[in-house]
């Protein structure tokens, strides 16, 4: 033992034994490795089957919703024809990619890679896969500028899907975090946290039914007749990479319209 500690005389012997015994160790370990591999395979198989079943369930639900939506659209069209109401115009969209944020610290704007040559017009609503992102306020031949919903000078007419009440959502001018405010709502108004706000369609710009925001917080104070209602946008306002530019219901003349007048028109029509 002393010789082994000082001179490592058994080290070659250990190496030889380890080399000779390695095939035996490998053979002994194979059943355990096979069992472990089978267990992992079955676990992955079960996980894949569960994911497949979940995808099939979601696909089935989406197909059912699609069929119901088509039926509702057909019934709506027939009812409008029966009542001799004006049919809602169908809108088309142009896909676009966000190039960069506008270099202005006092506004919230994005620059898109599509412009007038691709059919983009001023006033066009801009959407992502979740909801409304903003509105085209400036158009160049190859690019266009989007004013986001959370810009302090932006306003959009909205409809509470739970109650049917119309109002106007404004960009939050007190915060740079990206929220909306419902202003001039009575303190006893029927609003609840979680209510979904969609476009009302009365402004002649945004098609009706587009998701805009959800009510996040309601402040009712005794010293004022109005409630302070904070809303969180549904769309990825600050993280959108690809958007859809939808043709507005009313096409404005770009030579006679600037950013401020566009906001005023939206506000006036939304407040009717």
* pLDDT score, position 198: 92
* pLDDT score, position 215: 92
Work out the average pLDDT over 7-12: 70
Rounded-to-integer distance, Cα 268 and Cα 272, Å: 7
| Residue 258 pLDDT > 60 | no
Of 13-17, 119-123, 141-145, 255-259, least confident by mean pLDDT is 255-259
- In tens, the pLDDT along 126-148 reads 998 888 999 999 898 888 999 99
CATH architecture of 92-272: Beta Barrel (2.40)
The structural domains of the chain, with segments of one domain joined by +, span: 1-87, 92-272
* pLDDT score, position 214: 92
Instruction: Give the residue, 132 or 59, on which the prediction is more confident.
Output: 132
Rounded-to-integer distance, Cα 4 and Cα 10, Å: 6
* Tally of CB atoms within 10 A around 36: 11
* Residue 271, C-beta contacts closer than 8 angstroms, at least 6 positions apart: 157, 168
* Tally of CB atoms within 10 A around 240: 20
Prediction pTM value: 0.60
pLDDT > 90 in the chain, percent: 10
Nearest to 102 by CA among 151, 54, 62, 69: 151
Instruction: Give the residue, 221 or 177, on which the prediction is more confident.
Output: 221
Backbone φ and ψ of 248, nearest 5°: -70, 155
């Amino acid at each position: 033992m002393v010789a082994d500690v000082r001179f490592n005389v058994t080290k070659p012997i250990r190496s030889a034994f380890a080399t000779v015994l390695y095939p035996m160790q490998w053979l002994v370990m194979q059943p355990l490795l096979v069992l472990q591999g089978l267990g992992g395979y079955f676990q992955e198989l079960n996980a894949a089957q569960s994911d497949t079943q979940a995808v099939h369930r979601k696909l089935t639900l989406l197909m059912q919703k699609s069929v119901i939506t088509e039926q509702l659209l057909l019934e709506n069209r027939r009812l409008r024809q029966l009542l001799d109401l004006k049919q809602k115009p169908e809108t088309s969209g142009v896909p676009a990619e966000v190039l960069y944020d506008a270099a202005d610290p006092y506004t919230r704007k994005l620059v898109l890679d599509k412009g007038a040559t691709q059919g983009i017009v001023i006033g066009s609503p801009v959407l992502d896969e979740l909801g409304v992102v903003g509105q085209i306020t400036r158009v160049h031949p190859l690019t266009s500028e989007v004013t986001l919903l959370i810009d302090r000078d932006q306003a959009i007419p909205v409809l509470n899907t739970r109650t049917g009440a119309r109002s106007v959502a404004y960009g939050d001018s007190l915060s740079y975090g990206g929220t909306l405010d419902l202003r001039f709502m009575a303190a006893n108004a029927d609003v609840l946290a979680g209510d979904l706000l969609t476009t009302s369609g009365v402004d002649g710009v945004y098609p009706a039914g587009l998701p805009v925001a959800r009510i996040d917080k309601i402040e009712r104070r005794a010293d004022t007749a109005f409630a302070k209602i904070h809303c969180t946008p549904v769309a990825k306002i600050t993280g959108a990479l690809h958007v859809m530019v939808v043709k507005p219901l009313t096409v404005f003349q770009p030579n006679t319209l600037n950013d401020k007048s566009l906001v005023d028109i939206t506000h006036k029509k939304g407040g009717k």
